[in-house]
Amino acid sequence: MNDILKKKLRQLNTLVELSSLINSTLDTMEIKERAICAATHLLSAEAGSLILVDQDTEELFFEVAFGERGEELKEIRLKKGEGIAGWVLETGEPLIIDNVQTDHRFSKSADEKSTFVTRNMVCVPLKTKDRVIGVLQVINKKEDSFDEEDRDALVALANHVAISIDNASLYQELKEAFYCTAMALAEAIEKRDPYTGGHTKRVMDYSITIGKAMGLSKRELEYLELAAILHDVGKIGVKDDILLKEGKLTPEELAEMVRHTKYGAEILNHFRHLKDVAVGVKGHHERFDGTGYPDKLCGEEIPLIARIIAVADSFDAMTTDRPYRKAIDSKRAFEELTTHMGTQFDKKVVETFIGI
């Protein structure tokens, strides 16, 4: 097998491996970072960068830069059409440049900023179905200069990267739409009871702060956030005369009121992928000593996100005015939480909250 064929085969293998690595995540930033590492590795180069278009100003900016002093490049913004990146973006054509310093399209701002000397470069467009979203550029071949095979390999990689970024953005939009729906639903329930205005947002903020301090994973934090937003969604099934009653509830009314945890879980169980959120919603009135509701779960049988929401929910209830009593200050609310550690609340959660 001749050298060119061998090189092509090696690049093809690397390309397949790197493309599946890029495709294995739906996190847009992770895709971009992996893309730059993959591009520089694929072409045996010293550095690389991913330049995107700001949709509002049409300026180009360095989204991810890999190599020496890559961070400083992020401050640079190029005008529409400026620089080699601007040319590739406007024409949609890939480009190999053997001597960048003498090319009339070259904008020196990146080199000046990073004190990096660009010798040669391959720059290719990132094309999605209907537009060019940016460019991928690879700088300084470690040995020799870039050739047509390098350019073609980078074009192939860029096609994968563009599709991955597009998919991840769609997924992100879908997630945001769901999140907004959840917020709207929570607000609709809050609107029935004017005294609870802003309660959901505060419970969410306290819960996330505790969750982060307790070292929850990214996914667990997402579940916690949704469960905190939707913790009282089941109140939609509780009649107004019980929900808004100012005096003490009768045993029958109380029995109806406590059902909001079950109703909430039932509503969320329609979403198969939200099982962990549903158990968090269902368990937010369980007590650590097993005397809570609806299932009288005890200790760590209660899902952690429910134990966190229980503390956040109670703290907010104590520190805001309600029709039947006045708010107490944070210091007293913390004392209350401490008093009920191990009985009503999880000690670790309360200690973390107070520690923050």
Nearer to Fe ion, 118 or 261 (CB): 261
Nearer to Fe ion, 160 or 199 (CB): 199
The nearest distance, CB 71 to Fe ion, in angstroms, is 45
Q: Residue 35: which of 19, 51, 17, 46 has the closest Cα? A: 19
Nearer to Fe ion, 35 or 312 (CB): 312
Q: What backbone phi and psi angles, to 5 degrees, belong to 145?
A: -130, 170
- Helix (H) or strand (E) holding 87, with range, is helix 83-91
Number of other CB atoms surrounding residue 117 within 10 Å: 10
Residues at the site binding Fe ion, with contacts judged by CB under 5 A: 232
Find out whether 228 and 207 touch, Cβ atoms under 8 Å.
Answer: yes
Find out whether 145 and 3 touch, Cβ atoms under 8 Å.
Answer: no
Tell me how far apart the alpha carbons of residues 95 and 158 are, in angstroms, rounded to a whole number: 13
Long-range contacts of 7-15 (CB under 8 A, 24+ apart): 7/149, 8/149, 11/42, 11/149, 11/153, 12/153, 14/41, 14/42, 15/42, 15/153, 15/156, 15/157
The nearest distance, CB 181 to Fe ion, in angstroms, is 20
Whether 235 sits among the annotated catalytic residues: the reply is: yes
The nearest distance, CB 284 to Fe ion, in angstroms, is 6
Nearer to Fe ion, 125 or 292 (CB): 292
Q: Among the options 74, 235, 245, 282, which is catalytic?
A: 235
Tell me how far apart the alpha carbons of residues 323 and 246 are, in angstroms, rounded to a whole number: 6
Cα→Cα distances 308→251, 256, 305, 348, Å = 28, 24, 5, 10
Nearer to Fe ion, 166 or 286 (CB): 286
The nearest distance, CB 309 to Fe ion, in angstroms, is 9
The nearest distance, CB 72 to Fe ion, in angstroms, is 50
Long-range contacts of 316-322 (CB under 8 A, 24+ apart): 316/199, 316/202, 316/203, 316/206, 317/199, 320/195, 320/199, 321/195, 322/195
Residue in the shown chain whose Cβ atom is closest to Fe ion: 232
Nearer to Fe ion, 232 or 346 (CB): 232
The nearest distance, CB 265 to Fe ion, in angstroms, is 12
Q: Residue 308: which of 337, 333, 332, 329 has the closest Cα? A: 337
Which are the catalytic amino acids?
235
